[in-house]
């Protein structure tokens, strides 16, 4: 089973994992990012356009491409975490994890007892992993599915060590745009501001102390390379919509020259 769940295995081995990011609700796009070499691809249900039907197909398409499917669930929709894990996602990103109670709410639905209380029903996940023994899935699932808590507010920073110490949370993932809005009391959105940069080291330190993985959303590959050198190991890079716009702009520039 371990070979079929590459996200957890890579993170546990200390690797840097880059994930493509998909707000566009097209499984073939998500599959393409995996086939081009992203080891993981994230379907964004929070701010993207993925409904559950498209998510079902998208998860399978990403696995078919040889990548690890991840789903960012909508804000507060913790029940969706269990559902997408049952459908074959290897990781779940939950936005706005501000307190220990929020962290526990994620763990409750993302991990089986004794860590959480995830309900049983992983038939599709087992099928995609080529598994037939439910005992095998139950035995290994907590270690091989990844619970990712987004750190995006001042409240989250105030509770950072406690969130990081929560059993079952695997990754602390910074959402820099929302964090910049929070740190300026709603005055600006600037994910690379000095205020945000100052807090990134705190997240890395808290993750290291709790033996968790620090993560960061990055606007582009240059930012991801910089963040990896700084100590982040789970890195979202751009988005499918950004790649489409950049590719179109580059071609149009040639045509107009």
**Cβ-based neighbours of 185, under 8 Å, separated by 6 or more:** none
Neighbour count for residue 49 (Cβ, 10 Å):
13
- Place 48 in a pLDDT band, splitting at 50, 70 and 90: very high
Angle at 60 between CA 33 and CA 73, to 5 degrees: 80
Q: What is the 3-state secondary structure (H, E, C) of the chain?
A: CHHHCHHHHHHHCCCCEEEEEECCCCHHHHHHHHHHCCCEEEEECCCCCCCHHHHHHHHHHHHHCCCEEEEECCCCCHHHHHHHHHCCCCEEEECCCCCHHHHHHHHHHHCCCCCCCCCCCCHHHHHHCCCCCHHHHHHHHHHHCEEEEEECCHHHHHCHHHHHCCCCCCEEEECHHHHHHHHCCCCCCCCCCHHHHHHHHHHHHHHHHCCCEEEEEECCHHHHHHHHHHCCCEEEECCHHHHHHHHHHHHHHHHHC
CA–CA dist 44, 20 (Å, integer): 10
Per-residue pLDDT averaged across 113-117, rounded? Answer: 98
Beta bridge pairs of residue 149: 94, 172
Rg (CA), the chain: 18
Per-residue pLDDT averaged across 16-20, rounded? Answer: 98
Strands 171-174 and 213-218: parallel
Per-residue pLDDT averaged across 110-125, rounded? Answer: 98
Assess whether pLDDT exceeds 70 at residue 110: yes
Backbone phi, psi, residue 159, to 5°: -110, 20
* Long-range contacts, 189-198 (Cβ 8 Å, 24+): 191/217, 191/219, 192/219, 192/223
84: nearest Cα among 69, 97, 62, 102 = 69
Tokens 């997408």, located at residue: 84
Third-level CATH fold of 2-256: TIM Barrel (3.20.20)
Query: Mind telling me the catalytic residues?
Result: 47
State pLDDT tens for residues 208-236: 999 999 999 999 999 999 999 999 999 99
pLDDT at 4: 85
Assess whether pLDDT exceeds 80 at residue 2: no
State pLDDT tens for residues 73-88: 999 999 999 999 999 9
């Amino acid at each position: 089973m371990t070979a079929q769940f590459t996200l957890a295995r890579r993170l546990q081995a200390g690797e840097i994992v880059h994930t493509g990011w998909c707000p566009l609700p097209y499984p073939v796009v998500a599959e393409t990012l995996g086939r081009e070499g992203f080891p993981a691809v994230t379907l964004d249900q929070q701010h993207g356009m993925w409904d559950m039907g498209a998510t079902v197909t998208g998860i399978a398409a990403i696995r078919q491409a040889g990548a690890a499917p991840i789903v960012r669930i909508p804000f507060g929709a913790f029940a969706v975490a269990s559902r997408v894990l049952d459908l074959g996602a290897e990781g779940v990103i939950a936005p706005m994890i501000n307190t220990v109670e929020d962290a526990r709410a994620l763990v409750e639905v993302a991990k089986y007892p004794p860590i959480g209380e995830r309900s049983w029903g992983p038939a599709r996940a087992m099928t995609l992993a080529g598994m037939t023994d439910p005992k095998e899935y139950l035995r290994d699932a907590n270690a091989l599915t990844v619970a990712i808590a987004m750190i995006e507010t001042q409240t989250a920073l105030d509770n950072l060590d406690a969130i990081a110490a929560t059993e079952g949370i695997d990754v602390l993932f910074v959402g820099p745009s929302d964090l910049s809005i929070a740190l300026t009391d709603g005055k600006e959105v600037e994910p690379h501001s000095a205020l945000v940069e100052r807090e990134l080291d705190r997240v890395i330190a808290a993750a290291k102390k709790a033996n968790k993985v620090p993560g960061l959303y990055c606007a582009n590959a240059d930012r991801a390379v910089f963040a990896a050198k700084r100590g982040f190991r789970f890195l979202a890079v751009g988005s499918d919509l950004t790649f489409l716009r950049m590719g179109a702009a580059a071609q149009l520039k040639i045509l107009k020259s």
